[in-house]
Amino acid sequence: MYSTPLPKFATTQEAACPLWAIGPEGLDGLPEDAGTWAKTAGFKAGAGEVCLVPGANGGLGAVLLGLGSAATRNRRRLVTGDLPQRLPAGTYALAGEWARRDAEEAALGWLFGSYRFTRYSEGPAVEAKLVCPEGVEAARLEAIAAGEFLTRDLINTPTSDMGPEALDAAFMALAEEQGAEAAAVRGDDLLNQNFPMIHAVGRASAEAPRLLDMRWGSEGPTLTLVGKGVCFDTGGLNLKPGASMGLMKKDMGGAATVLGLARMIMALGLKLRLRVLVPAVENSVSSNSFRPQDILTSRKGLTVEINNTDAEGRLVLADALTFAGEENPDMIVSFATLTGAARVAVGDDIAPFFTGNAALATALTEAAAEVADPVWQLPFHAPYEPRIQPGIADLDNAPKGGMAGAITAALFLRRFVPEGADYTHFDIYGWQPSAAPGRPKGGVGMGARALLAALPKVLT
């Protein structure tokens, strides 16, 4: 299930090399030998600058990490995140006031930075290890990092090895690993069990569509996570141009994110009853592809006019959300790589979310700042509802006009949960375009850690 060794802290503190993180104003506060060497080496403590300080015996005596100016620091989080792959093999320990003030963030950044996707090319091993700082719960951070690693591995794996069947296998493996129960509805059984839109989107693929269902926990409030599992999106008969198809292996990023989040929840033993639903399909092209102008009838009974077969994610989520709502859980949360409009609105680094739960919105905003997982609330703007109503059917899967695409997609999804349900939707990107501290280029989780931190404040 994992292509990367699970993240672990060093098991011993013996001979750990001190790691200092400082801004330019902190250069004078270094121990004398380190300060002298820093001046000799021309170390200015710029953002991301690293200085290796020799020890008395010819080995490595200390590492200096530059934080840059105060303004730069506000733009950079998880600053230790690229050190595991830049430093020599060995054991390191945070040092100085920074280590006490930002110990948990620095430790998590280190674990995130140790990630390498090794399924197809081993490359150099990451042999730099960090001692977990005093007062930081190592097992908790390791569980969070392992969930993030799972998300990254799933997204990074190309569809040749991560189609609906392989996503199904990864889903079942996670359930077995964590002692959860899992089941699936596959192929034409989707029609027999009334998941018509999941079937319609996925039936053209060589691998049968399916709905994956996991349950864990026996006490506490009920939380259902729903993740878009479109393992590749050609656009269907509204075929994407080649340039737009290049990253479509990540179109199951919503599924990958909820599986990573579910692993965090289960490994941490949160007191809640968790359910995870993933519609796993490939939107492909064949003689039985669904077509523009088709009208599909959903599990809920609402009819949907297909005005673009490339707006397929909301269709498979609609059936899954209806299924989720039939049990009336305390909270439903969906994650999906759903719209380009969300990227235009907030870019690739921020996960926009929609919710009717004001307490959750506040908790998410606060948690996002605390754990360096940026999110931003967008509205379920009811005056836009007419835009998703084409007249010939109950709903339009691709409203014309080109405006408010993320909002109209979220409004579409909300139609498939029970009225008044506590529903939140994340429209994520799931991809890091270029390497940043703690976030190597490639698949990445978005919004999951913010939600993990917010849940105990609102779901009790």
314 catalytically annotated: yes
Q: Inform me whether the pLDDT recorded for 432 exceeds 70.
A: yes
pLDDT confidence of 429, banded at 50, 70, 90? very high
> Mind listing the domains of the chain with CATH numbers?
17-136 (3.40.220.10), 143-458 (3.40.630.10)
Q: What is the pLDDT of residues 323-335, one digit of tens each?
A: 999 999 999 999 9
Q: How confident is the model at residue 98 (pLDDT cuts 50, 70, 90)?
A: confident
Determine which helix (DSSP H) or strand (DSSP E) holds 91, and give its type and residue range: strand 90-95
Helix (H) or strand (E) holding 247: none
Q: Which of 152, 263, 314, 387 is catalytic?
A: 314
* Mean pLDDT, rounded, for 360-372: 97
Tell me the percentage of the chain whose pLDDT exceeds 70: 100
User: Tell me: the pLDDT tens digits for 129-166?
Assistant: 999 999 999 999 999 999 999 999 999 999 999 999 99
Let me know how long the chain is: 460
Residue 1 has pLDDT above 70, yes or no: no
Q: Is 76 a catalytic residue?
A: no
Cβ-based neighbour number of residue 122 at 10 Å: 8
Query: Long-range contacts of range 160-166, CB-CB < 8 Å, 24 or more positions apart?
Result: 161/119, 162/231, 162/249, 162/252, 163/205, 163/207, 163/231, 163/232, 163/282, 164/202, 164/205, 164/207, 164/208, 164/209, 164/210, 164/229, 164/231, 164/280, 164/281, 164/282, 165/207, 166/231
Task: For residue 132, give the H/E element and its range.
Answer: none
Residue 57 clears pLDDT 90, i.e. is over it: no
Q: Which of 8, 73, 140, 240 is the catalytic position?
A: 240
Whether 316 and 198 have beta carbons less than 8 Å apart is answered as: yes
User: Is the pLDDT confidence value at 431 over 90?
Assistant: yes
Task: Indicate if the pLDDT at residue 2 is higher than 80.
Answer: no
Average pLDDT over the chain reads 95
Residue 388 has a pLDDT of 97
Kindly tell me the sign of the dihedral angle through the C-alpha atoms of 257, 116, 280, 305: positive
